[in-house]
Structures are given as C-alpha cells and as structure tokens.
C-alpha cells in the first residue's frame, strides 16, 4: 500500500486512479454473449451454463424442493441473523415512502405527483467467489415494498447445478419466487431480451464483475434501465489520531477482500498514524481466508497524508468513494463537508460492514467515482414519479393566456391553438 505525502491537487487524478477497466476487450466477449441469448433464448443459457459454470442443467428454474432443501441446509444462527437484518432494512426502507403530493398552484389548476412501482424488475445476485445473500435483502426488500409486479432473481449455479442455499432461503423469506439459474453477462442478456423461461424486465439491479457491469451498460441501449454503473468495491477511510489503527485496518481489509480489482484508500493527517495502520494491516492480513485477493487489492491502494483538513476533505470529495468512513475529531464538521459519497459511516464504532449487512441502509452503491452523480439503491430506485394535472374551465381562463404567449413565442402554433380553441369554446358556450 503506497504512501502519498501531501500530494498536490494536480497529481490526484494519476495518484488515486482506480484499476482500469479494459472496456474494449471486455465488450468483445460480452457483446457476442448478448447476441446469442437474444437469438437462441434458453438454449443459449443452457450452453453458457456448461461453458462457464461447468454444469449441465435440467431446468433454469429453482424448484420448490430446492428451496425447501436450502432452508434445511443453513444454520438457525444464520437464519436468525438474516431475520434481524431483514427487519432493519425493511424498517429503514419503509420510512422512505413519500406521500402523494397534491397542490392547487392557482385556483382551478391542480397538480399531483405520486410514486408508481416499476412493474418488472430483475435482480442479479453474484454467487461466485462470495455468495452475496445479503444483496438479496438489499434489492429484494425495496422491490417488494415498492410493489413491483414481477421480481426475477438470477444467480449462477455451482458445478452441482445449485444456487447457494443462503441465497435461496433469503429470496424465499422476502417472497421472491421466480429464481433463475444463470449468471454473468448471459443472465443480464436474458433479463434484457427475455427468453422462453426468463421474462424481459424494465430495470436491472445488482452488482457483478466487469462482464456483468459491461452487459448492464449495453442493456441500456435496448430500453432497459439499470440501477447505476458499478465497478469493483471500494472504501475510503478518513482517520486521525483519535481513531483506533486496528479498526481502520480492519475496515480497509474488509473491502480489499472483495476482489483483486478493489481499491482502498486511507486519508490521514500524519505519517505516524498511517504507519500504525499499515502495520495493523500486515498483522491482520495473515489471518484472512481471502488473503491472496486482499494482497492484490492493496497493490492498487493508497495511504494519503493530508495535513490540511480542508484539502483532505476536498480530496475525498474529488475521489467520491463508494463507502466513506469518517473517524476524526470534530466529525460533524467533516461529515457536513462531504458532498460526494455513496454511503457514510461515522465514528470509531461504525464499521462499513454494518451497512453491508444489517444496519438498515442499502449496500448497492455507486463506485468508480459515480457517487458524484448517482445515489445508492433505495425505495425510490424501484418506483417512478408520475405527475398529473387537472384544470377547470376557470383555471384555463386564468392560465390559458400565459400558455398562448409562450407557445406563440416558441413558434409552436398548434400548442397555442390547443388552448385558444378551448378558450373560444368557453366564451361562446356562455352565450
């Protein structure tokens, strides 16, 4: 993990560069996959399951028996943890409901806005090096609360043709019944175009590797929305001498173990504190089951010494991290200065993993600097805001002349006439 000592602003872009996506090479692989699924449907999915998952499937659907076996396969301790997380996530996301707005802007002109669920959504749940059953909670709960008519979950099977039991148990717990054994770009293709078994959806959610990310971005060209552009996981920890080095190291490693292309950043005010954290990282790293992955990620990572607090905060906003942990003196002032972050974790005793699993916030967040212009997944991600207006005859008499003048000056005669013909009718109908 390289140390940067008070880097000048002009060097930030280069010094803090995230691992580069080889977009052209990835698209060369992904685009043919999408074409084959579009053309051959289920047949292509079965073939890709053999090629990439090394399994010959009898069915793309998870059966009721498989769901029952999954429930029996996981411990009561894990079930209890999932139920606790579910309750917290439901509570926080239910609080995000916005009431319908009704406003009479002038007498006789009534405007409304209400939330309407996106009807058909697809949830992608990774199941490779880490089976992310927690993501089922993060995506499935707001989808169910929003009232989405159809929820389709895709996750890759293992060599025995099975999806991880914790994924199946969690999906069943929150009421998702349509579960498809398909992963990677081919699953995104199936959700984009539809196949004999997989329904076409309106919006696709969920994290994944670079191939999944590329497939999701291509899907947008076919009229399917996605949650956000998402890349490898990342965290930035802003800490000073009031923080505990062991805690900071653990938080950095918790993201480094996600994947070799993850990136973690420490921003602190002294080299002495940075070295304490690096020593802790070295100590804790040796105990990790995913040590090799974390070590590779740390090669992409940086410890940044920023003695000036304002410059440190400017650097953090420039980087726009997916996860931001703030553990400094006068934390409130630091928090208020943050305008670019996916989710913020405040204080010595708020590990990033709390948001990943059970605090109640959502862990599907913008990465790769997209926190500058994207929000993380929330209840709002699963609804559309539809506006309505109703104008009475008296309201049109008041508002009509304004519309006529504006339309006339934009040289849109038919727009003007749509009002004028009604106003004329109201004049003559009184006679």
Q: State residue 259's pLDDT score.
A: 86
Task: State the alpha helices, DSSP H only, in 231-382.
Answer: 245-256, 271-285, 291-299, 309-319, 331-337, 352-357
Task: Give the H or E element holding residue 431.
Answer: none
Q: State residue 19's pLDDT score.
A: 83
CATH number of 23-110+117-227: 3.40.50.1980
Q: State residue 208's pLDDT score.
A: 85
Average pLDDT over residues 101-118: 98
- Edge-to-edge, what's the strand order for the sheet holding 120-124? 178-181, 150-155, 120-124, 203-205, 225-226
C-alpha distances (whole Å) from 224 to each of 167, 189, 193 are 25, 11, 9
Per-residue pLDDT at 426 exceeds 70: yes
Q: Is 363 one of the annotated binding-site residues?
A: no
Q: Hunting for tokens 């319908």 — which residue is that?
A: 100
Whether 323 is catalytic is: yes
Per-residue pLDDT at 273 exceeds 90: yes
C-alpha distances (whole Å) from 141 to each of 127, 164, 191, 229, 367 are 19, 19, 19, 21, 22
Per-residue pLDDT at 334 exceeds 70: yes
Look up residue 358 and give its two tokens: 């059970």
Look up residue 290 and give its two tokens: 């995913």
Q: Is 410 one of the annotated binding-site residues?
A: yes
Q: At what angle do helices 271-285 and 245-256 cross, to 10 degrees?
A: 60
Q: Of 93, 164, 323, 363, which one is the catalytic site residue?
A: 323
Q: What residues contact 27, with CB distance under 8 A and at least 6 apart?
A: 214, 218
Q: Of 234, 280, 322, 352, which one is the catalytic site residue?
A: 322
C-alpha distances (whole Å) from 43 to each of 33, 49, 264, 368 are 12, 10, 41, 35
Q: Is 415 one of the annotated binding-site residues?
A: yes
Average pLDDT over residues 98-127: 97
Per-residue pLDDT at 130 exceeds 80: no
Q: State residue 229's pLDDT score.
A: 82
Count of beta carbons in the 10 Å neighbourhood of residue 52: 16
CB 254 within 8 A of CB 289: no
Instruction: Output the CA angle 143-117-215, nearest 5 degrees.
Output: 60
Q: State residue 328's pLDDT score.
A: 97
Q: State residue 231's pLDDT score.
A: 77
Q: Is 222 one of the annotated binding-site residues?
A: no
Whether 322 is catalytic is: yes
Count of alpha carbons within 13 angstroms of residue 242, beta-carbon side? 11
- Local structure of 359: helix, strand or coil: coil
Per-residue pLDDT at 385 exceeds 70: yes
Count of beta carbons in the 10 Å neighbourhood of residue 97: 12
Average pLDDT over residues 161-175: 96
Q: Is 164 one of the annotated binding-site residues?
A: no
Question: Which of 247, 294, 246, 242 is closest to 268 using CA atoms?
Answer: 242
Average pLDDT over residues 310-326: 97
Q: Is 124 one of the annotated binding-site residues?
A: yes
pLDDT digits (tens, 9 = 90+) for 194-243: 999 999 999 999 988 889 999 999 999 999 999 998 778 899 999 999 99
**Helix and strand totals (H; E) in the chain:** 17, 14
pLDDT digits (tens, 9 = 90+) for 371-383: 999 999 999 999 9
Per-residue pLDDT at 422 exceeds 90: yes
Q: State residue 268's pLDDT score.
A: 97
The domain at 231-375 falls in which architecture?
3-Layer(aba) Sandwich (3.40)
Q: Is 233 one of the annotated binding-site residues?
A: yes
pTM to 2 decimal places: 0.93
pLDDT digits (tens, 9 = 90+) for 30-87: 999 999 999 999 999 999 999 999 999 999 999 999 999 999 999 999 999 999 999 9
Per-residue pLDDT at 424 exceeds 90: yes
Average pLDDT over residues 308-334: 97
Q: State residue 166's pLDDT score.
A: 96
b (16+ CB within 10 A) / e for 13-30? eeebebbebeeeebbeeb
Q: Considering the chain, what is the average pLDDT of its residues?
A: 95
pLDDT confidence band for 256 (50 / 70 / 90):
very high
Domains 231-375 and 392-429 share a fold: no
Segments making up each domain of the chain, as ranges = 23-110+117-227, 231-375, 392-429
- DSSP, res 61: B
pLDDT confidence band for 129 (50 / 70 / 90):
low
Give dist(CA 2, CA 304) in Å, integer.
Answer: 8
Q: State residue 194's pLDDT score.
A: 97
Where is pLDDT greater, at 39 or 259? 39
Q: Is 50 one of the annotated binding-site residues?
A: no
Q: State residue 123's pLDDT score.
A: 98
Per-residue pLDDT at 3 exceeds 70: yes
Q: State residue 36's pLDDT score.
A: 97
Q: Is 330 one of the annotated binding-site residues?
A: no
Question: Which of 410, 26, 9 is closest to 208 using CA atoms?
Answer: 26
May I ask the CATH class of domain 392-429? mainly alpha
pLDDT above 70: percentage of residues in the chain:
99
Average pLDDT over residues 357-373: 95
Q: State residue 431's pLDDT score.
A: 59
C-alpha distances (whole Å) from 28 to each of 54, 127, 160, 185, 207 are 22, 24, 29, 12, 21
Question: Which of 273, 261, 275 is closest to 233 using CA atoms?
Answer: 261
Q: Is 284 one of the annotated binding-site residues?
A: no
Give dist(CA 95, CA 314) in Å, integer.
Answer: 32
Per-residue pLDDT at 428 exceeds 70: yes
């Amino acid at each position: 993990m390289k140390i940067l000592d008070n880097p000048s602003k002009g060097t930030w872009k280069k010094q803090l560069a995230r691992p580069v996506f080889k977009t052209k090479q990835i698209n060369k692989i992904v685009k043919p996959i999408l074409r084959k699924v579009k053309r051959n449907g289920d047949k292509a999915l079965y073939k890709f399951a053999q090629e990439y998952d090394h399994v010959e499937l009898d069915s793309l659907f998870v059966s009721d028996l498989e769901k029952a076996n999954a429930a029996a396969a996981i411990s009561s301790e894990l079930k209890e943890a999932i139920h606790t997380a579910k309750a917290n996530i439901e509570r926080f996301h239910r609080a995000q409901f916005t009431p319908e707005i009704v406003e009479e802007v002038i007498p006789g002109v009534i405007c409304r806005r209400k939330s309407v669920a996106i009807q058909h959504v697809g949830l992608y749940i990774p199941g490779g090096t880490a089976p992310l059953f927690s993501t089922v909670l993060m995506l499935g709960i707001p989808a169910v609360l929003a009232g989405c008519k159809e929820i389709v979950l895709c996750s890759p099977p293992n060599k025995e043709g099975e999806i991880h039991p914790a994924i199946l148990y969690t999906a069943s717990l929150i009421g998702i019944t349509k579960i498809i054994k398909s992963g990677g770009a081919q699953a995104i293709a199936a959700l984009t175009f539809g196949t004999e078994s997989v329904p076409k959806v309106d919006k696709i959610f969920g994290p994944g590797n670079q191939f999944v990310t590329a497939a999701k971005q291509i899907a947008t060209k076919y009229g399917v929305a996605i949650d956000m552009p998402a890349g490898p996981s990342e965290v930035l920890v802003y800490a000073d001498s009031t923080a505990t080095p062991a805690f900071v190291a653990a938080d950095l490693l918790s993201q480094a173990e996600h994947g070799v292309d993850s990136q973690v950043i420490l921003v602190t005010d002294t080299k002495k504190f940075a070295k304490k954290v690096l020593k802790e990282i070295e100590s804790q790293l040796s105990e990790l089951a995913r040590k090799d992955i974390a070590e590779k990620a740390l090669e992409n990572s940086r410890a940044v010494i920023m003695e000036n607090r304002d410059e440190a905060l400017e650097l953090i906003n420039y980087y726009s991290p997916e996860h931001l942990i703030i553990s400094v003196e006068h934390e409130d002032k630091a928090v208020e200065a943050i305008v670019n972050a996916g989710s913020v974790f405040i204080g010595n005793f708020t590990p990033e993993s709390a948001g990943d699993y059970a605090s109640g916030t959502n862990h599907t967040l913008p990465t790769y600097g997209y926190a500058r212009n994207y929000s993380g997944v929330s209840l709002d991600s699963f609804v559309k805001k539809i506006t309505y207006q109703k104008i009475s005859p008296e309201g049109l008499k008041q508002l009509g002349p304004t519309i006529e003048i504006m339309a006339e000056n934009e040289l849109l005669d038919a727009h003007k006439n749509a009002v004028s013909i009604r106003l004329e009718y109201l004049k003559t109908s009184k006679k």
